[in-house]
Amino acid sequence: MTFLVLQSVSKRFGAVTALDDIRLSVPQGSRIAILGPSGSGKTTLLRVVAGFEPPDAGCITLAGDVLADGRAAMPAHRRGVGVVAQDGALFPHLSVRDNIGFGLQNGDAGRGGRVAELMRLVELDGAMLDRRPDELSGGQQQRVALARAMARQPRLMLLDEPFSALDTALRASTRRAVSNVLRHAGITTVLVTHDQAEALSFADQVAVMRDGRLLQVGTPQDVYFRPVNREVAEFLGDAIITAAELANGTAACALGPIPMDSGHQVGPGTVMLRPEQIHLAAIAGEPGVPSCSRPCVGEILEAEFAGAVCTYVVRMLHPGPGPAGPLVIRQPSNRLLDVGTTVRVTVTGKAHVFAGPD
């Protein structure tokens, strides 16, 4: 059942088109991540849904209520939409207790209990209630911001890059905590982020955005393994993209014949593989000519060790159809390969074929 619906929403700032004909529907209780580089318009999208900016055109409805229809927009304070901002936006003049209780009625007898409950929910120690925001760590601030936003039991939660200001270790744990809380509460959530791992791990649905337009909306697996174009593919992670000759459900390319994920395309095309589909193995004890004559063999031109993974630049010895430069392939670094090694390139799974011309 769709819950949040955006129909042809557009917004311009002067000459810049921040949102260009955005259409999106989000089912109730689901989580969607809006993923895009900075300047893609994703934060504007969130601000339009929150009611901080009116759209220039288009319609937004939430559970059937019209939030905005063109420039006629319901003000933010009547929308019942929770927002957690990038740095938490905690009120610096208020204690943790008053921050969390900010949206609750002052005279409310249950206010103290509700605040305590929210503190437990976001796994914060009750001893922190009387602290000021600047006495908290970044992760704690974000949890307080979440608790504050949840206090009013919002119908929709908007998260604006809430983890980006945190350092790597804290980011993952805070993200898991927030994710659990929201999942448990069954609140429909929109997460805005530029971090693909965050988007993929957090959401049921990922919407990839660029230059004010939505390029693709789908499940994390969809957008990761079956991106609509090279741009989406590369934005979501490392991709090996190469030209291929398509026929009979097989893509013939520099890496040999690989089964395609869609069987109906024929002729020249472009395919994509994710690095984890590829395995490099040194061809040991087979020096010389014979191995070189086999199709899926290459030579390592450069190797860069970076801890858990190692990045290799591989030149295929028998390039397939179309232009094929050296491939950049990341591999787990449990078996290190030296420069100059001849390797066999093995592919598992299917190659993704881009729908249109690349």
* Contact by Cβ (8 Å): 267, 250: no
Assess 88 for contact with another protein (CB under 8 A).
yes
82 beta partners: 157
One residue of 71, 107, 127, 134 binding another protein per CB under 8 A:
134
Handedness of CA 58, 150, 219, 167 (dihedral sign): positive
Q: How far apart are alpha carbons 150 and 100 in whole angstroms? A: 9
Should residue 132 be labelled a site residue for another protein when binding is judged by CB under 8 A?
A: yes
Which of 83, 129, 297, 351 contacts another protein by CB under 8 A? 83
Query: Segment near another protein (CB under 8 A), from 145-153, 244-252, 301-309, 340-348?
Result: 145-153
By CB under 8 A, name the one of 11, 31, 42, 79 that touches another protein. Answer: 79
The residues that bridge with 36 in the sheet, in sequence order, are none
Query: Helices marked H in the chain — which ranges?
Result: 42-50, 96-100, 111-121, 138-150, 168-185, 196-202, 220-225, 230-236, 289-292
Per CB under 8 A, 351 contacts another protein: no
Site string for another protein, 184-213 (x = CB under 8 A): ------------------------------
Q: 161 CB contacts (<8 Å, ≥6 apart)?
A: 43, 86, 192, 193, 194
Q: Sort strands 81-84 and 72-73 into parallel, antiparallel or unpaired.
A: unpaired
Structure tokens at 301: 């031109």
97 sits near another protein (criterion: CB under 8 A): no
146 binds another protein (CB under 8 A): no
Q: Does 181 bind another protein (CB under 8 A)?
A: no
Tell me the CA end-to-end span of the chain in Å, nearest whole number: 34
**Total number of residues that touch another protein (CB under 8 A):** 38
Q: Does 62 bind another protein (CB under 8 A)?
A: no
- In whole angstroms, what is the distance from residue 112 CA to residue 169 CA? 32
CB of 8 to another protein, least distance (A): 24
Spatial distance between the Cα atoms of 321 and 242, rounded to a whole number of angstroms: 9
Q: Shortest Cβ distance from residue 91 to another protein (Å)?
A: 6
138 binds another protein (CB under 8 A): yes
Smallest distance, Å, CB 278 to another protein? 38
**275: Cβ contacts below 8 Å, ≥ 6 apart:** 238, 239, 240, 329, 330, 331
Pick 93 or 264: Cβ nearer another protein: 93
Q: Exactly one of 45, 73, 85, 223 binds another protein (CB under 8 A); which one?
A: 85
Name the site residues for another protein (rule: CB under 8 A). 47, 50-53, 75-83, 85-94, 102-103, 132-134, 138, 141, 145, 148-149, 151-152, 158, 165
